[in-house]
């Protein structure tokens, strides 16, 4: 009874077989059902998240947020869905129609496909492939492609500018992200997500390598493309960036993909650094593991929202400087340091808590040192003073001058 999910699965399996289907077909039907369940779950989560996000944004910015539709405005998302479904689809003249229509689908799919490998509980996992970490990174790169396709096919300068900015940003932030992901792989000695979670049974990787967790969070926030890294859709500069020309449900798909991507990043941080589904009693009661997983993910999601609602947008040169001059060198140093320290500590074979403590102290020391070095080598800001000039001059002051 404890293993509720597998009990349901085997019951369904026997039911389908008793209807006359072969074993293989029953397995196939169950896999399809499982994928559908995950996809539907993702959409339900997004509907809830949009409300939470808007309410939170309202509170942080000293507003109420949605408060008309239903108690506390909880039906606001449903009203938005109805509105977005009934809107007209506009395809701009000169747009590359095929690419224009595929781009939002690809954006959605690139996020949803990541969920295929997530371990939700001890034996509730879609596909426990041996290259899980690489799969996540590879599928994530389709998101870049979708943005590029949307920007190119819209036949709009703002969209194209947003897309070219996004390529510069997303490709360069992929490097520290992948290097930070390599550290859990190194410590767990496997790219399987289930093995990575098993490796953090007593001590989460957040405590073992806090620096990798921090860098992963920062570079993933850039990958999401939201503030403070929302240069690809900076509304004060580029109208709306790559999805300027999209309307109706096609825009809706980009919007949902963005929210879901943020939640997915929360899930990734949970899996790689917060121990995934682990928690008290989770190994015997898989349903508890699912609850722990989603709770941790939601907490990380709220943290990301908090950061992005508090910080202003950074300039594109600052964004590239942060990546190439700070994140990439320090994450390489971190990778080397963790590899060497792990090897040395493995030879010495101390108690587990000493190992974790040494790793934590080393990580923090590296962060402190790199911050000091970054502070010392900060280039002097070139201030260009423009003589102030009045845009409109009143006739009187003009006359007095002459």
Partner 1 sequence: MSLGLFIFLLMVVVTIVAAVAVVTSRNLVNAAMWLMVALFGAAIAFVLLQATYIAVIQVLVYIGAIAVLIVYTIMLTRDPDEKHVPGVNKQWPIAAVLSLVLFLGLAYFYYTLPQTNVLAPTLDGDLNAISQLGALLVSPNAYVLPFELASILLLAALIGSIVVAWRK
Per CB under 8 A, residues contacting partner 1 are 96, 99, 129-131, 134-135, 137-142, 144-145, 148-149, 152, 160, 164, 167, 171, 174, 191
Contact 81, 240 (CB under 8 A): no
CB of 152 to partner 1, least distance (A): 6
**Shortest distance (Å) from residue 145 CB to partner 1:** 6
Cβ contacts of residue 231 below 8 Å, gap of 6+?
A: 165, 166, 169, 313, 314, 316, 319
C-beta of 149: minimal distance to partner 1 in Å?
7
**Locate tokens 């009661």: which residue?**
285
Helices and strands in the chain, H and E counts: 16, 2
Find tokens 């479904």 and name the residue. Answer: 85
Minimum distance of partner 1 from residue 233's CB (angstroms): 18
Distance CA 129, CA 135 (A): 9
The least distance separating partner 1 from the CB of residue 210, rounded to whole angstroms, comes to 26
User: Nearer to partner 1 by C-beta: 27 or 67?
Assistant: 27
What is the Cβ-side half-sphere exposure of residue 240, based on CA atoms within 13 angstroms? 10
Least distance from C-beta 115 to partner 1, angstroms? 17
Tokens 């920007």, located at residue: 151
Nearer to partner 1, 56 or 99 (CB): 99
- Of 111 and 144, nearer to partner 1 (C-beta) is 144
Identify which of residues 55 and 243 has a Cβ nearer to partner 1 in the complex.
243
Q: Which is nearer to partner 1, 47 or 129 (CB)?
A: 129
Query: Tokens 């001890």 belong to which residue?
Result: 122
Q: How far is the CB of 30 from partner 1 (least distance, A)?
A: 16
Tokens of 368: 């402190």
Where are any strands of DSSP class E within 47-152? 119-121, 124-125
What are the backbone angles phi and psi of residue 125, rounded to the nearest 5°?
Answer: -150, 135
Instruction: Report the residue number, 122 or 160, with the smaller CB distance to partner 1.
Output: 160
Spatial CB neighbours of 296, under 8 Å, sequence gap ≥ 6:
266, 270, 274, 275, 276
Residue 327, classed as helix, strand or coil, is helix
- HSE at residue 321, side-chain half, CA atoms within 13 A, is 9
Cβ proximity to partner 1: between 111 and 160 the closer is 160
């Amino acid at each position: 009874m404890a293993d509720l999910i597998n009990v349901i699965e085997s019951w369904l399996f026997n039911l389908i077989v008793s209807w006359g289907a072969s074993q293989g077909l029953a397995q196939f039907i169950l896999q399809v059902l499982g994928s559908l369940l995950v996809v539907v779950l993702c959409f339900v989560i997004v509907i809830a998240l949009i409300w939470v996000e808007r309410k939170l944004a309202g509170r942080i910015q000293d507003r109420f947020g949605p408060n008309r539709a239903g108690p506390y405005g909880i039906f606001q998302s449903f009203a938005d869905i109805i509105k977005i479904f009934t809107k007209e689809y506009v395809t701009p003249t000169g747009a590359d129609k095929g690419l224009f229509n595929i781009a939002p689908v690809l954006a959605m799919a690139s996020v949803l496909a990541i969920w295929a490998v997530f371990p939700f509980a001890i034996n509730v996992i879609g596909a426990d492939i041996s290259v899980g970490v690489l799969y996540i990174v590879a599928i994530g790169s389709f998101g870049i492609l979708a943005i590029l396709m949307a920007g190119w096919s819209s036949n709009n300068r703002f969209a194209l500018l947003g897309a070219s900015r996004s390529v510069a940003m997303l490709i360069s932030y992929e490097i520290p992200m992948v290097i930070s992901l390599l550290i859990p792989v190194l410590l767990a000695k496997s790219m399987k997500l289930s093995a990575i979670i098993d490796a953090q049974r007593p001590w989460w990787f957040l405590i073992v390598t806090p620096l990798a967790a921090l860098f992963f969070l920062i570079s993933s926030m850039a990958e999401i493309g939201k503030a403070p890294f929302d240069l690809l859709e900076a509304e004060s500069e580029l109208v709306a960036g790559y999805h300027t020309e999209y309307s109706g449900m096609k825009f809706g798909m980009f919007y949902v993909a963005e929210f879901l991507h943020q939640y997915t990043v929360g899930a990734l941080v949970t899996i790689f650094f917060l121990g995934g589904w682990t928690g008290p009693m989770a190994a015997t009661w898989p349903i508890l593991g699912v609850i722990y997983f989603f709770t941790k993910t939601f907490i990380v999601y709220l943290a990301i929202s908090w950061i992005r609602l508090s910080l202003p947008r950074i300039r594109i040169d600052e964004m590239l400087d942060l990546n190439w001059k700070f994140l990439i060198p320090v994450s390489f140093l971190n990778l080397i340091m963790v590899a060497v320290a792990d090897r040395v500590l493995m030879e010495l074979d101390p108690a587990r808590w000493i190992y974790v403590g040494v790793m934590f102290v080393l990580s923090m020391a590296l962060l402190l040192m790199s911050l000091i070095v970054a502070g010392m080598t900060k280039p002097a800001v070139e201030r260009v003073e423009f003589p102030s000039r009045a845009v409109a001059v009143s006739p009187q002051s003009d006359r007095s001058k002459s």
